[in-house]
Chain A
Amino acid sequence: MKIAVLSGKGGTGKTTVATSLAQSLPECQYIDCDVEEPNGAIFLNPDLSQKFPVQVLVPQVDDNKCNKCGECAKACQFHAIAVVKNKVLVFPEICHHCGACIIACPREAVSETKRTIGFVETSRRGHFLQGKLNIGEPISVPIIQDLKRRMHEGIPVILDCSPGASCTVVQSIEGCDYCILVTEPTPFGLHDLKIAVQVVKKMGIPFGVVINKATSDNTSIQDCCRESQIEVLLEIPFSKEIAEGYSRGLLPVQNELWKDKFRKLYKEVKKVQA
């Protein structure tokens, strides 16, 4: 079963939930899809033993064949290739690797070359995976795709997604069986939860909510979930102890009580598949 953990708003405890769940299960694969700011390794301490570059294809122009007609630049929808002063310029960072310029060139002067935008690291047996986008690179989707190609079959897979609701989140949760939406009881948390709900509904994936930093005097999230008939899977109370452990890279599931709660959470989630 493939379970994605996402949150809309950042800093609500997405990684806490994803890594706690991973540690509560006897066997699973954890994938950190937040390739801009991966944090799962801080909590799971994996033995990262393998590292693979993630490469994309960008155009390269053969000056001997090119007659500066400008067809490639006209074809590129992303302004990643331009003909200026009798020279073809490629802006590789903003290239979407689509290959349109190659098709457009009438003289077959455009070919492709590989370019590294980040890397993927895995533990020895591939139970822990993370990706990292290189500094200054805008496009992270190819790294997420690379991670997802390495998904295991037959054991639970937990995908820790990036915050927000843009194409990186869509890319991460696509094909998952269930989404856990993590939120917190603030106006920001509630607002962004509603956005995350729209994303998973649009993708048609079953989902439930985990409320982190729950307090008894603010039930805005519970009320909203009740009204919209959304299942609340778990409430993690606001606790200085948990926050302090988190700051040092420790998870609440160090404690058996919490391990148990996360096992129950998994059972709940699994019912959906049945």
Chain B
Amino acid sequence: MKQIAFVSGKGGTGKSTLVSSLSILVQDKMLADCDVDAPNLHILLNGKTLKQEDYFGAKEAVIDSSTCLKCGICRETCRFGAISEQLEIIPMKCEGCGACLLICPAQAISLAEAKTGQTYVSETARGTFSHALLDIGAEGSGKLVTEVRKNTFNFEENEKWLLIDGSPGIGCVVIASIIGTDAVVAISEPTKSGQSDLERVLAVARHFEIPAFVCINKYDLNPEITSQIESYCANNDFPVIGRIPFDPDVMKALQRFKTPVETGNPRVTEEITGIWIRLTEELAKPTAKQ
């Protein structure tokens, strides 16, 4: 199964719209939403849950007050300010590192598994779909992403493709979403912020030596910045595989929970079909990563 991660650097550039459109156009694939702290793909996919599980992706210190000597050494040791003056653990701040437990002279501290989210695998009309929801403010979003990707393998039935909806940014969630994939597709828009964010996320893909491709959404909104993005991509060997025109109907369709493909928008559908064709051609080239 070849894995393709769709990312954007900047949020709101049309990543989930592109992935959900491809979920109709591409055959023989699985889907994964790795934007675990603000997942959106499930809103358009509407599946039947096959598996739902609590995920314990972090640890949390627990102080046994009956053996605690109230010496406060743990509080001095904790670098995250996670132990209060009353020597109680502040769950939102505890990283579960265990430094307190090692220093405690009375062995009053232990680490407990902490639930950080929920994972789901759903059967949808467009293929098996793995997703998750991070608990509010929980640690370890990167680990939850890894779990979402692992879950796809447990349900794999020789599908040819895995389409991964990534998250904005360049930190742990994005890194966990793209590591080990066959290609990264970055979706940008012709704005100054879109341009700056695109360059950073492409640099991350290059850092991890993953072939990366670019789509410019709403490319006709600012032709000048579009051509700047295109020359940046040409100079740095990131093939531009799509230019999607601005069309207010895309937003109108989304408000009715539909992709532009379903509402029969020929211009946008044609371009998205082209993106997939060009991507598969690029991946078939011998220079691409095996």
Contacts and interface: CB of A to CB of B under 8 A. Distances in A.
Interface of A: 7-12, 15, 36-37, 39, 42, 75, 77-78, 96-100, 103-104, 133, 135-140, 162-170, 184-188, 191-192, 195, 198-199, 202-203, 218, 220, 243-244, 246-249
Contact of A192 (B38, B137, B203): B38
B255 interface: yes
A10 B136 contact: no
B204 to A, nearest CB: 6
Contacts of A162: 168-169
B233 interface: no
Contacts of A78: 97
Contact of A12 (B12, B16, B138, B190): B12
Nearest to A243: B221
Contacts of B134: 165-166
A166 B173 contact: yes
Contacts of A75: 98, 102
A37 B255 contact: no
A57 to B, nearest CB: 9
Given A36-B170, A166-B141, A99 B79 contact: yes
Contacts of B208: 136
B96 interface: yes
Contacts of B103: 103
B40 interface: yes
Nearest to B42: A191
A196 to B, nearest CB: 8
A2 B251 CA distance: 34
A78 B96 CA distance: 9
B211 interface: no
A220 to B, nearest CB: 8
A141 to B, nearest CB: 9
A165 B11 CA distance: 13
B40 A103 contact: no
B131 interface: no
22 contacts: A10-B168, A12-B11, A36-B170, A37-B9, A39-B10, A39-B196, A98-B98, A100-B99, A138-B171, A162-B169, A163-B38, A165-B37, A184-B12, A187-B254, A192-B40, A195-B136, A198-B136, A203-B137, A246-B193, A247-B189, A247-B222, A249-B193
A164 to B, nearest CB: 4
A163 B196 CA distance: 16
**Looking at A7, A133, A188, A191, which has the most chain B CB atoms within 10 Å of its CB?**
A188
A103 B193 CA distance: 44
B112 to A, nearest CB: 12
Q: Top 10 closest A-B pairs, CB basis? A: A10-B11, A11-B12, A98-B97, A138-B172, A36-B169, A10-B168, A39-B193, A247-B191, A11-B11, A164-B37
A58 B197 CA distance: 29
A244 B221 contact: yes
A15 B193 contact: yes
B37 A39 contact: no
Interface in B145-201: 167-176, 189-194, 196-197, 200-201
Given A135-B200, A135-B207, 19 more contacts: A10-B11, A10-B38, A11-B12, A12-B12, A37-B9, A37-B10, A37-B193, A42-B193, A77-B59, A97-B79, A98-B79, A99-B99, A104-B102, A135-B170, A138-B142, A138-B175, A167-B138, A167-B139, A249-B193
Contacts of B96: 77
A168 B171 contact: yes
A37 B169 contact: yes
Nearest to A38: B196
Interface in B218-273: 221-222, 225, 251, 254-255, 257
Nearest to B137: A170
Contact of B102 (A100, A136, A191): A100
Nearest to A40: B193
Nearest to A187: B43
B118 interface: no
A163 B15 CA distance: 14
A249 B192 contact: yes
A98 B80 contact: yes
B92 interface: yes
A39 B199 CA distance: 13
B77 interface: yes
B13 A100 contact: no
Contacts of A140: 171-172
B68 interface: no
Nearest to A102: B99
B249 to A, nearest CB: 13
Contact of A186 (B79, B80, B98, B251): B251
B226 to A, nearest CB: 10
Nearest to A57: B79
B263 to A, nearest CB: 14
Nearest to B97: A98
**Looking at A39, A135, A218, which has the most chain B CB atoms within 10 Å of its CB?**
A135
Contacts of A10: 8, 10-12, 38, 168
